[in-house]
Structure 1
Amino acid sequence: MRVAARRAGVRLLETANRRRARRAPAADTGTVRILLQHAYGMGGTIRTVLNLAGYLARERDVEIVSVVRAAEHPFFPIPPGVRVTFLDDRTRPRGPAARLLSRFPSVLVPKQENVHGSVSLWTDLRLVACLRSMRTGVVISTRPGFNLITALFAPPGVLTIGQEHVALEVHAPEMRRLIKRRYGRFDAFVTLTEADREHYARTLRHDPPARLLCIPNAVPELAGDVSPLEEKSVAAIGRLVHAKGFDRLVKAWAPVAEAHPDWVLRIYGGGTQKAEERLRARIEKAGLTGRVLLMGSSSEIGAELSRSSMYVVSSRYEGFGMTILEAMSKGVPVVSFDCPHGPREIITHGHNGLLVRPQKPALLAEAISRLIEDPGLRRTLGRNALRTVPAYSLDAVGARWDALLDDLQRTARGGVETLPVRDETRDEPRDEIRDEVRGEAGGEADRTPYPIAS
C-alpha cells in the first residue's frame, strides 16, 4: 500500500509539473529565497547564510524562509534589505491543525538527518506549500533534508540551487542513497570545498546536477582589532558536540598546561546542558580547572579572537572551517587537525598555520607548544594569515555567486525544462549499490600523507 501510494504521488506530481511548465513565466534570478532551519538561531551555517543574503540583497530581492522560529529575536543581526519569514513560528500560539500535525514526525526529512527531531509533519506541509507557491526566481536550500525536499517539489520555472555545509561522507548510507536519486534535478549544487566537490562528482556521476561547483563561505566582518599576539590565551570555537572534538582538545591541553602553566585555553560555544556537564567533568578529571575555560556563546567573537594568540581546531571533520578564517582575519595563527575537509584548503602548513595528523592529541599538543615557545614563528604565521583572508572576502566570494546566478539566467532563457520525478521505489543500479556498500569514504584528504607540525 505504501509503495502504491508513493507511485501515485509521483504521477500526480509529474502531471502538476507538466501543467505548470506550460504556463511558467521566464526564470528570473532577481528574486532569491534561501531555505534555512532557524534564522534566529546561532551557528556557523546561520551566520554564513546571513552573510551571503546581505550581499545578494544589494541588487536582488532576498527573502530568508526560516522553517522554524524558536526565539523572539535573532542571535545575529539580519542584514539590511533581507526579509525573514517563518513557516512554523513556535513563539506564538498556533492553531489546532498546527498543534495536531506537529505531534507527528516528518515524513520528508530522513531520520538520519540531524534536523529530523526538530521538524514535523506540519513543517513538511508548510515547506511543500511554500515551494509549490513559487512561480519564478531562485531558491537556495542550505541543508541535506531541505535539499531533498527542494529537489523533489520545486516547480518548473523556479531555479534550484542546493548547498551543503557538511561533507558528503558524514551522511548516513540512506541519506547518500537519496542524494544520488535527487540531486541530479538541481540547476546547480554548491559545495564549500574542492575535495567535497570531487566526492560529489564521483557519487553523482550517473545523474549529475546541471552545475556542480565549489564556492567557499565568505568571512564576515568582525569587531575587534588585529591581535598583538601577546596574551597568553588560546581560543577554540564551536558547538559542544562530538564532531568538534573538544574531548581531544582537553587531552591535548594537559601536557601544554604542564609545560606552560601561565597559558589558558578558552572554548567558546554553546551546547546542551548534558554536553557542557560532560566536558566540564572531563576538564576537572584532567586537573585542568582554571586552565581550560568554557566561555559559552558570544556574539562578539571577533573581539574575543583579538585577545587570543592562537586558535586551535580539534574537529573530527569540518564542512569548511569558517572560524579558521575568522581567526586569520584577526592575524591569529591556527593549529588544526588535518581533518576532512576544510582546514587543508585554507591552511598552508608552515605558512599561515600548522596542520597535524588527525586523531593525534599528542601531536596537537606539540604544535601548540611550538607556537607558545616561538613567538617569532607565531607572528610570521599571523602576518601570513592576514594575507590569506582577502580571497575569502564577501566581495570576492559574492562575485562567484553573481557569476553563477548570471549563468543560470542566461541558460534559463532557453525555456523551462520539466524533469521526470524519479520513482524512488525502484532499485538502485548495481554499481551504485556497490559504491554504497563500500561507503565511498575517504576523499583526497584521507588518502594522502598528512604534514606533521613537529
Structure 2
Amino acid sequence: MNQANSLVAAGWDVELVSAVRRRDDIQFPLDARVKVSTVVDLREDAHVPPAGPVARWRDRRRGRLLDRPARHIPAGEFGYRYFNRYVEERLIAYLRTLTDGVLVTTRPALNFLAAEHASRGVIRVAQEHMNHGTHKRDVQQRIRETYPRFDTVAVLTERDREEYEALLPGTRVVRIPNAVHSLDQVPARPRSKIAVAAGRLFPQKGFDLLIPAWAKLVEAYPDWQLRIYGSGEKKAELRALIEEHHLYNHVFLMGHTDRLDDELAKASFYVLSSRFEGLPMVMIEAMSHSLPVVGFDCPTGPSDVLTHGVDGLLVPPEDPDALADAMAKLMKDEGLRAEMGVAAVLTAASYGPDAVHPRWEALFTELATRPGRHGQRRPGGAAKGPHA
C-alpha cells in the first residue's frame, strides 16, 4: 500500500490487483488514484446465482475447482491454503491478458505463476519477502526453476541479496527494503511500564516463546504489562498459555487494531519474538516511535536493522531465558530506554518513504527504458501488484 501510494503520487498509473478478496474494506490507507481490481472475489455477496444452463454448468465447474488443490503451487508455500485450482486458473488467465507495464508479484506462489504465464510484453519483478532458508524444499526448488525468468528479483536485506545472487547466477537481484508509512510519529514514553509486541498469532511470530519469557519477570516487575496486538489461529493456545502461567493481569492479547501507531506511542520498548522474518516492518514502525527493541536474532531481518547495544538488544533465537534477561535490562533502566529510543528513530529514518520509494521509481524507469523494451515510462507507466 505504501509503495502504491508513493508511485501514484509520483505520476505512475498504479493498479493493485487482489488475487483473492474476502473482505469489503481495504486494511491500510490507499490513495484514491490507485485502481483496485479483484481476480477471484470470494465475498458472500459477490456470487450471483447463475441463470441458464451454460451459467449453471460454469458455476458447478467453479465449485469443483474451488475444492481441488492447486497444481502449480507447491504445498510448502506458506500461503498454499489460499490457492486452489480455480484461483490458479483465474490468475493464469489474468496474467495472459497483460501486454505492457511493470508487473510486481509479492509472494512465491504469485511469482511462480507470473514467471510461467505472464505475457512477454510485461516487465516482471518478483518481490521475495522471506529468507531463502525459511522456505520449504519444494518451494526452494521452484524458486531455482522460475526466478531466473524475471527481469529483477527484489529482496529486503543485504544478506538476502547475496544469498539469492549466489542461488540464481545471472539473475538481477536488488535490495530494496519495505518502507514505513511515515517518520512523523509521536515518540514513545520511556517512563511507561508497557512493552508491545505485534503480528499475526501464528507460530512464526513466537508469542508462545514470549509469554513464558515474560512469566520470569513478573515477580521482579509486577507493575509492567505486555500487550500483544494481532489476530490469528493460535489465539486460544496463547490464551491458555497466559492462564497456565497466571499472567492474566500482566499479559494481554489485544486483538487487531487500526490504530497501532497510537498503541506503540504508549509503550517504552518493543519485543520481537519471531522464529524467522523477512524484514520485520512492525519492528521498524516501532523504532520510528523512538522505541528500542528486544528481539531474537532470528533469520533474517533483525540484525540487518538493529545494532545490538545501540538501538536494541538481540539474543539467541528461540531462547526465552535470554529474552527475559534482555527485557529485564531495559525494564530496570529508564535512561537506557530513552538513550536507545533516540538511536532507534535515527535507524528508522533510512526506511522512510523518501529514502525507499525513489529506488523503486529508478528501478522501474530503468527496466522500462532498456534497449529492446517497449514498456511505458513515467508518467504513462503502469505498475501492477497482485497479492494474496
TM-score when normalising by structure 1 = 0.77
Shift of 1:179: 0.8
Partner of 1:231: 192
State the Cα deviation string for residues 210-269 of structure 1 (Å, max 9, x = none). x20111000112896211222210000011111111111011101211210000100001
Partner of 1:317: 276
Partner of 1:121: 85
- Matched residues in 2 for 1:115 and 1:415: separation? 33
Distance 1:254 1:159, change over 3 A: same
Partner of 1:414: 372
Structure 1 runs (4+) greater than 4 angstroms displaced: none
Partner of 1:93: 47
3-state SS, counterpart of residue 291 of structure 2: coil
- Matched residues in 2 for 1:79 and 1:345: separation? 30
- Matched residues in 2 for 1:165 and 1:415: separation? 27
Partner of 2:129: 165
Report whether the alignment pairs 1:391 with 2:350: yes
3-state SS, counterpart of residue 355 of structure 1: strand
Contact 2:183 2:352 in 1 (8 A): no
Contact 1:224 1:303 in 2 (8 A): no
Q: 1:62 aligned to 14, 18, 24, which one?
A: 14
State the Cα deviation string for residues 177-232 of structure 1 (Å, max 9, x = none). 11111100000000011111111122223xx42x2011100011289621122221
Shift of 1:115: 1.9
3-state SS, counterpart of residue 124 of structure 2: strand
- Matched residues in 1 for 2:36 and 2:345: separation? 33
Partner of 2:383: none
Shift of 1:415: 4.5
Structure 1 residue runs of 5 or longer lacking an equivalent are 1-49, 417-454
Structure 2 residue runs of 5 or longer lacking an equivalent are 51-58, 375-388
Aligned ranges 1:313-392 → 2 under 5 Å: 313-392=272-351
Contact 1:354 1:367 in 2 (8 A): yes
Contact 1:222 1:303 in 2 (8 A): no
Aligned ranges 1:3-152 → 2 under 5 Å: 50-58=1-9, 59-91=11-43, 92-94=46-48, 96=59, 97-152=61-116
Structure with more of its chain in helix, by fraction: 1
- Matched residues in 2 for 1:265 and 1:323: separation? 16
Contact 2:215 2:245 in 1 (8 A): yes
Higher relative contact order (CA 8 A, sep 6+): 2
TM-score when normalising by structure 2 = 0.90
**AA of the residue aligned to 2:213:** A
Contact 2:183 2:349 in 1 (8 A): no
Aligned-residue Cα RMSD (Å) equals 1.5
Contact 2:75 2:138 in 1 (8 A): no
**AA of the residue aligned to 1:65:** V
Contact 1:223 1:300 in 2 (8 A): no
Contact 1:311 1:335 in 2 (8 A): yes
Aligned ranges 1:230-269 → 2 under 5 Å: 230-269=191-230
Shift of 1:98: 2.9
3-state SS, counterpart of residue 216 of structure 2: helix
Partner of 2:245: 286
Shift of 1:327: 0.6
- Matched residues in 1 for 2:258 and 2:131: separation? 26
Which deviates more from structure 2 when the two are superposed, residues 92-101 or residues 368-377?
92-101
